[in-house]
Structure formats: structure tokens, C-alpha cells
Structure 1
Amino acid sequence: MQKLSILIVEDEPLIAATIETALKKQGFYVIGDVETYEEALTEISTSKPDLVLVDIQLEGEKDGIDLATALDKRYIPYLYLTSQTDPSTISRVKETKPLGFIVKPFTEAGLRSNIELAWHNFSLTKDEFLIIKSEGETYKLNQEDILYLKAFDNYCYVITEAHSFLVPKTLKFTSESLNPVHFAKTHRSFIVNLRKVSKMTIDSLVVSGHTVPLTASHKEDIKLKLRS
């Protein structure tokens, strides 16, 4: 369990500071900001960020698209920061593989939603993570570490061995980001990680020492999934 770590590559100090402030306010962990291609690669090698925000126009001979090409070779996910839409720029961008684009000027809400959506889509094809926001902080949870989810009105709890996160989203909304091969509903208010189930009784499952209710309507489905 850790916060999503982000490196900002932006050569305009005021914009970089605005982005950093907005990200920290949304609970992300900002490693810092750099201004050039060379500084970015050095910082990435040292700090190993989860995600890089790359301004297309950078100081120096190499710009953000050159950096994106280098990141593609290293399989490092990134989002473009851009106000450029000219044909030559778009043509070069098409040769790279960004997770998406954040267009300047941006809003704080737009910045957050672009990052969360991009990371969610990336997570579906890579290691399985769940991005959640709890008590003002944004966390990246490995789905394998989750024990179960529990509905709580329009919120839900995400339970791991070490923490209980109260998430300001419904159980249904949060569960849509989980791998359905490993997670299943046992009750209208509970979804469990099948990899963590150690015991089944008539009306419950034991999940790493936690007892989770199991209703008759879900029992056969759970049996089949546990066998597989």
C-alpha cells in the first residue's frame, strides 16, 4: 500500500508549482519537478516514479516527445501536458504511447480525473492495482493485498491486513475496478478476495481471520469460483 508517486516534467516554474500544489491537495505523492530531458531521465532512474507528467515543450535540444520515446522504451507510464495541437506535433505524438493528455489550461478536478482514469486503464493491463482516495489521501493498493470490501451507505470500506480505508464511493463503483476473476460478491454489502478465503461455513466465509457473511443466493457461485 502506497501513494501514487508522480514526477512532473515542466519547464515553466509557475505551472510546475501549480500542478504540484494541486496534486498534493488531492493526496498524490509528488516526487518533485524537473525542467529538461536529461534531468528527467536522471530523476526517473533515481526515484522510480509510478507516473510521469510530461510537458511536450521543454528547454533544451530534446523536448517532451523525445522524453516520451525514452519512457516507452523503459515501459514507464506517462501523461502529456500540452497546449500544442499543431499538425507536426500531433504527427510526432502519434509515434509515442502516452496514457493520455492533460490539456492546458486545466482545472484541479480535471487534473485528478485524468490521472485516476489513466492509471486505472494502465493497471488493467499491468500489475493489478486499485486507486482509492481515503481521508484526503490517494493510495495505490495492490489488489492481491485486499481482503474484502464492505458497503457503508454511499461509501465503502476497503479492508487489507494492515488498514481499513473508508472510500467516498459506493461498493458497486469501487468494485468495477477489481479483477472479477479474483473478487466475488458474497452478500449485497460484501465483496471478497477469493485468494484470501480459508474456510466456508453454511452462512459465512473466513477471509484471513475475518468472518464475512455469505447469503444463499451467492453460495453456489462462490463454490464454483473457489474450485476454479
Structure 2
Amino acid sequence: MNSSNALRILIVEDDELTAWAIEEALIAAGYGVCSKAGDYETAIRVMIQERPDLALVDIRLKGQIDGITLSEQLRDIRWIPLIYLTANTEIETYQRARKTRPTAFLHKPFRPLELARQIDLAMDNFYQEKIPTGKTPPEDVFVWDGKGGYVRVNTGQIVLINASGGYSELVLTDEEFARIMPGSVHQAMLLSIPFGNVLLYLGDNFYRAGRSVCINLKYVDRVESDRIFLRQHEVLLPIGKHKELLERLPVIRSRK
């Protein structure tokens, strides 16, 4: 996988040898490690400064703040996939951790293959669930590339999204598609994620132009009474949507 597309992972583990073993296993599996943290303060700083795509957090950390409380605060900064590392099998601890909505659990000691599988499971689970109200979605999303891995997509480079049954079609800019799929013929990326769930990961610059289409206002080139033009794409505009759309755009009005 291209290093610019690799999943960047934060490891929160206060046992140095275990942290190094996890890092080696992640790098061997093709993932990137943005940083390792052994305490609360370091983990918070990394989340703010380096903005990881996924966090591996040991439930048992030294000090007054454990991994469960830390994870809640990490996700207040940015809602990302979370995998708990634990050697603890107490039902009370499990139930408390479960309330924080982790995307996977990994029991120690673990095998490198199991680590990679849990990351795949975490990514699948993350995009199938809704982001809780008030949480900040990531700037990048990871989508299945059809070749056995996930690829990074910057949401600002999404031109539009179409609903297709229980799937979603992601239409990217030419530049973004060429970056992540070099040498491939440009086509929409089909995601096995419901349309409504995809919309939760998009910013305020996206507008739902119909029941089954959402557009990025950044790429609107022309608006007519019944259609929108975005680069080389044309989207039909339902009755009643024209005025609403214009209110979302910086329109300089003049006499006709």
C-alpha cells in the first residue's frame, strides 16, 4: 500500500516491550504507526497533533486514568475506530468498555495475524455504525479498494455520492482517483455501506440534492432550475430544491 494511503495508528500501551511488538506487527502488515503513548498526557497530545486514523488502547494503564476513560476523551477530540487491548476477562470491565462503543477487542497475548484481522473488523464496524451526535468525524475516510485492503480518501475530494440499493457510489475528483488508484480507469467506487451512513462522515460543504444523491458544493459549476453541473457530472434537481440549493451557495444576485 502507498505510504500516503496507509492507515496511521496510535498505540497506547504502557509496557514498552509490548508496544514495540505491536508496532513491528503493524508495520509488517502494511500499516503505519504515527506514535506510541504510554500515558494519558502523551496519548491526548498525539491525538491532537498527529490526528491518527485508528487507536489501539490497552485497558489497563498505569496511573489514575485507565484506557477506557482515556478512550472516551480521545473520541471527544475526534471520532475514529478504537480497538481495546486487554488481558482482563472480568465481565464488569468488559461491560464498561463496551459502553464506549469500541470497534473491536484484542486479547493479549495476541498473534500478528489476529491483530491484522481485528483491524479489518474494526474498519468494517466503524463505517457501518452512525457517529454519535456531537462527535467530530475524521477528515479522511478509508474505503475498501477491492484488492484486499483499505485506501485513504480525503472527503474534500469527493464530488458526489449516489445511493445504489444498500450500497453507495463514491465519485472522486480525477486527481484523487489517480492518486489512490494509479493506472486505473476512473470509475465510481462502490461501497458496501448504506447511503445514510456515508453522509454522516461528510462535512458542511455537502448538500443532499435528492433522495439518493449528495453533492459537494465545492465542485458546483452551474445551477439550472432542474439540474446541477459538477465538473463533468450532471445531477437532476428535484422540484423545490432549486431555491434551497442557492441559499447554500455564495450567489451574487443581479437584475435579469
Q: Normalised by the size of structure 1, how large is the TM-score?
A: 0.62
What count of residue pairs does the alignment treat as equivalent? 211
User: Higher strand share goes to which structure?
Assistant: 1
| RMSD, matched Cα | 4.5
Partner residue, 1:163: 176
Of 228, 239, 242, the residue aligned with 1:205 is 228
Letter paired with 2:116: E
Of 167, 177, 182, the residue aligned with 2:207 is 182
Percent identical among aligned pairs is: 19
TM superposition shift of 1:177: 0.8
- Cα distance between partner residues in 2 of 1:88 and 1:175: 34
Query: Are 1:80 and 1:98, in contact at CA under 8 Å, matched by a contact in 2?
Result: no
Of 138, 149, 159, the residue aligned with 1:147 is 159
Partner residue, 1:103: 106
- Cα distance between partner residues in 2 of 1:41 and 1:156: 35
Deviations 1:58-95 (A, max 9, x none): 5xx338x624424544634543122422145347647x
| Cα distance change on mapping 1:171 and 1:14 into 2, 3 Å | closer
* Runs (5+) with no aligned partner, structure 1: none
* Runs (5+) with no aligned partner, structure 2: 181-186, 248-256
Partner residue, 2:93: 89
Q: Normalised by the size of structure 2, how large is the TM-score?
A: 0.57
Partner residue, 1:226: 245
Query: Are 2:168 and 2:195, in contact at CA under 8 Å, matched by a contact in 1?
Result: no
Deviations 1:141-189 (A, max 9, x none): 33x552224799x994531474226665348746741259723459x8x
| Cα distance change on mapping 1:174 and 1:148 into 2, 3 Å | same
Q: Is 1:132 aligned to 2:158, yes or no?
A: no
Query: Are 2:157 and 2:176, in contact at CA under 8 Å, matched by a contact in 1?
Result: no
Query: Are 1:9 and 1:33, in contact at CA under 8 Å, matched by a contact in 2?
Result: yes
